[in-house]
Amino acid sequence: MQNSIQILSTRPLHEALISDAKEVGIDIDELSFIDTEPIQSIDVQQEIDLAFLQTSPVVFTSMNAVEAVAYYQEENQPAWEIYCIGNTTKQLVAKYFGEEKIAGTTDDATSLAELVAANDVNGEVIFFCGDQRRNELPDILREHDIEVNEIVVYQTVEISHKIDKVYNGILFFSPSAVKSFFKSNQLPAATILFAIGNTTANEIKKYSANKIITSSEPGKANLVSRMIEYFTGG
């Protein structure tokens, strides 16, 4: 009989997070339901090279987009004002392009779009994104008459797994992983679902009526902490 709490993470976690959970009687299994691949083509490279020469504000809502653009950076240090999601994405932007270029950060794409609009950005915004990007950010910007130049720099590939084990909770870090998971799986009503943010939580609601706990801040560590608090009462 299992006495520990059983959790499934739909994305790999740092070993320290696994250990922190284990210390309080929580075992975490890791299984990826999506993979991301940078698009390495002449067309994309030309679009990115042209963007490096522009001074339009730039938006990143994904660490994958930052890494895909940085792949082509070489010696370029573009004169960008960058708006990005907090935590890991922000850290990568600072690493590759310099923290001084970060004009603003928020916890999700909707509030990021509202921040860009509130800062009276005129003209065009360059949005580096994936092939399954959500509509919220470009829609809000266009509602404020801000032109959005979308450059798709990575693609998301679904990985199908059928889960036989019963888990007390499942950690979701993106809408794409939610979609991939529920293509092959159904859950007992008692399984608690943990979402990295509101966009991921809203995607879960399309497939499940289970209880959803949403992290108040972005980042894997924050979601794991929220899960530990829930199951330990801490």
Q: What is the pLDDT of residues 192-218, one digit of tens each?
A: 999 998 889 999 999 999 999 998 777
Closest residue by Cα to residue 44 from 113, 131, 135, 134 = 131
Domain boundaries, the chain: 5-33+159-232, 37-156
Task: Tell me whether domains 5-33+159-232 and 37-156 share a fold.
Answer: yes
Q: pLDDT tens across 42-90, in order?
A: 999 999 999 999 999 999 999 999 999 999 988 878 999 999 988 889 9
Q: If one looks up domain 37-156 in CATH, what number appears?
A: 3.40.50.10090
Neighbours of 232 (CB within 10 A): 12
- The pLDDT, as a whole number, for residue 44 is 95
CATH number for the domain running over 5-33+159-232: 3.40.50.10090
How confident is the model over 138-188, as pLDDT tens digits?
A: 999 999 999 999 999 999 999 999 999 999 999 999 899 999 999 999 999
The per-residue pLDDT for range 84-121, each reduced to its tens digit, is 988 889 999 999 999 999 999 998 889 999 999 999 78
Q: What is the pLDDT of residue 1?
A: 37
